[in-house]
């Protein structure tokens, strides 16, 4: 069975700091997709970043970047120059391609950016 | 383009009743997936529909069912409601596949079972 683990239920940093959210996953497949989604308070969930497993280069989107370690099955998210608008629940997700396709989510990390 | 919409936004039901939730995907998106979000279990995949066919299903009892119409709109039904069904139900749409494409989420339907 595929699983996703986010070991930090809550994190809190000061505005402008850099913060890293951890995510580990387990799958027996060689190809899959990994995602970070953001759910701001009372707002819709949106994609932060997407990574295809067979691409070794780490994905980046402006201030957001990932550290993808395929052998270690680790997919951490780094937020640089954090802003108040980054306050949200962050979910790591694994896209299972083989067999019964689905999206498996971690439990989430509640990130608070303090002024 | 208009985003994913879900109706109703809030629902209160009693145990034993049934409920139907609706989801309208982004125009052109053919894949619609449903998720249950609770504080204890997090986000769990319910099922995915593509071209009016259920393509994948999560580990939920048969009380949870759904369908998709020719215009890609989808409905989810929960029969014989239990207290544990209280949750935020999210719908998401994408171009083709739940496991590879960016999912665009709706605002959710908050279901409370009394």
**Structure confidence by residue, pLDDT tens digits, A97-106:** 887 788 999 9
Low-confidence winner among A75-79, A97-101, B11-15, B94-98 (lowest mean pLDDT):
A97-101
* φ, ψ (nearest 5 deg) of residue A2: -90, 140
Asked whether the beta carbons of residue A97 and residue B107 sit closer than 8 angstroms, the reply is no
Cross-chain CB nearest to B56 (options A35, A52, A100): A100
Predicted local distance difference test score (pLDDT) of residue B34: 98
Please determine, for residue B1, whether its predicted confidence score (pLDDT) is greater than 80.
no
Predicted local distance difference test score (pLDDT) of residue A50: 96
Please determine, for residue B88, whether its predicted confidence score (pLDDT) is greater than 80.
yes
**Taking CB atoms and an 8 Å cutoff, what residues of chain B touch A45?**
90, 92, 105
Residue in chain A closest to B103 (alpha carbons) equals A47
DSSP string, B22-51: EEEPPTT--EEEEEEEETTTEEEEEEEEET
Asked whether the beta carbons of residue B99 and residue A102 sit closer than 8 angstroms, the reply is yes
Which residues are bridge partners to A98 per DSSP? none
Nearest CA-CA distance, residue B86 and chain A, Å: 17
Query: How many A×B Cβ pairs under 8 Å?
Result: 60
**Structure confidence by residue, pLDDT tens digits, B29-58:** 999 999 999 988 889 999 999 999 999 899
Residue in chain A closest to B32 (alpha carbons) equals A102
**Structure confidence by residue, pLDDT tens digits, A42-61:** 889 999 999 999 888 899 99
Asked whether the beta carbons of residue B45 and residue A104 sit closer than 8 angstroms, the reply is yes
Closest CA to B100 of A39, A66, A54: A54
Cross-chain CB nearest to B98 (options A43, A103, A107): A103
Residue in chain B closest to A89 (alpha carbons) equals B42
Asked whether the beta carbons of residue A97 and residue B44 sit closer than 8 angstroms, the reply is no
Nearest-angstrom CA–CA distance, B32 and B44? 15
What stretches in chain A show pLDDT beneath 70? none
Burial class from Cβ neighbours inside 10 Å (0-12, 13-18, 19+) for residue B83 reads: exposed
Predicted local distance difference test score (pLDDT) of residue A4: 97
**Taking CB atoms and an 8 Å cutoff, what residues of chain A touch B24?**
none
DSSP string, B55-78: EEE-S--TTEEEEE-TTS-EEEEE
> ω into residue B8 within 30 of 0, thus cis?
yes
Predicted local distance difference test score (pLDDT) of residue A61: 93
User: What does the mean pLDDT of chain B come to?
Assistant: 95
Predicted local distance difference test score (pLDDT) of residue B50: 94
**Taking CB atoms and an 8 Å cutoff, what residues of chain B touch A106?**
42
Nearest-angstrom CA–CA distance, A87 and A85? 5
């Amino acid at each position: 069975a595929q699983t996703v683990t986010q070991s930090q239920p809550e994190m809190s940093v000061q505005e402008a700091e850099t913060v890293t959210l951890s995510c580990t996953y387990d799958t027996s497949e060689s190809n899959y997709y990994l995602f970070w989604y953001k759910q701001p308070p009372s707002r819709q969930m949106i994609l932060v970043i997407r990574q295809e497993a067979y691409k070794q280069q780490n994905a980046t989107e402006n201030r957001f970047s990932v550290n993808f370690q395929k052998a270690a099955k680790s997919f951490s998210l780094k937020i640089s120059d954090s802003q108040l608008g980054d306050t949200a629940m962050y979910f790591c997700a694994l896209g299972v391609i083989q067999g019964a396709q689905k999206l498996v989510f971690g439990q989430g990390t509640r990130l608070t950016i303090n002024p | 383009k208009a985003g994913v919409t879900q109706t109703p936004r809030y629902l209160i039901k009693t145990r034993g009743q049934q409920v139907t939730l609706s989801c309208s995907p982004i125009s052109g998106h053919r894949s619609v997936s449903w998720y249950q979000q609770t504080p204890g279990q997090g986000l769990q995949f319910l099922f995915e529909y593509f071209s009016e066919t259920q393509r994948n299903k999560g580990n939920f009892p048969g009380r949870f069912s759904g369908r998709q119409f020719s215009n890609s709109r989808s409905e989810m039904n929960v029969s014989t409601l239990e207290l544990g069904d209280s949750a935020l139900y999210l719908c998401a749409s994408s171009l083709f596949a739940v496991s590879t494409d960016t999912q665009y989420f709706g605002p959710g339907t908050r279901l409370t079972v009394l």
